[in-house]
Copies of this chain bind each other. A is one copy, B any other.
Amino acid sequence: MTDKTALTPATHTTPPAKFSHGVKKGNLLQVAGQVGFLPAAEGQAPTPAGPTLREQTLQTLANVKAVLEEGGASWDDAMMIRVYLTDVAHFAELNEIYDAYFQEQGLKQAPAARTTVYVGLPPGLLIEIDALAVLS
């Protein structure tokens, strides 16, 4: 039997329901849908990084990365990144931010696959991202 382990970075806010920010079982690591919440501050409700797509996207990517690292993985292990935007008009800017971010990360392997779709999100949130990784 292989155990499933919850991945809970110290910086992350408590999930609003009985789910884990990430789980790892065998060589598979799943990151739950992350949004652009700033690191948790005691006695304060979860707060987005800022009102702009750029601020929220960079914080969301940092939040996904923290879960990957909590499980001993990195962006290089990511197979699939799912991006949920709220506005089709944000696509070009998202791609600019995304490319610059991954340029800085210095990937050693092929970039992950990605699907981007446009959905509704809670008020104030412009982006949500989840990821599936396979550890080496």
Contacts and interface: CB of A to CB of B under 8 A. Distances in A.
Quick one: copies of this chain in the complex? 3
Given A23-B110, A110-B4, A95 B16 contact: yes
Given A17-B99, A115-B128, A79 B23 contact: yes
A119 B87 CA distance: 11
Nearest to A123: B88
Given A6-B110, A109-B4, A120-B88, A18 B115 contact: no
By DSSP majority rule, is chain A's interface helix, strand, loop, or mixed? mixed
B4 A77 contact: yes
Contacts of A111: 6, 18-20, 23
11 contacts: A5-B110, A17-B94, A18-B102, A19-B81, A20-B111, A23-B112, A25-B79, A25-B134, A32-B114, A88-B120, A113-B130
Given A3-B109, A23-B113, A33-B116, 14 more contacts: A2-B136, A18-B98, A20-B110, A23-B79, A25-B136, A28-B79, A28-B134, A30-B80, A30-B112, A32-B115, A33-B114, A33-B117, A84-B117, A115-B130
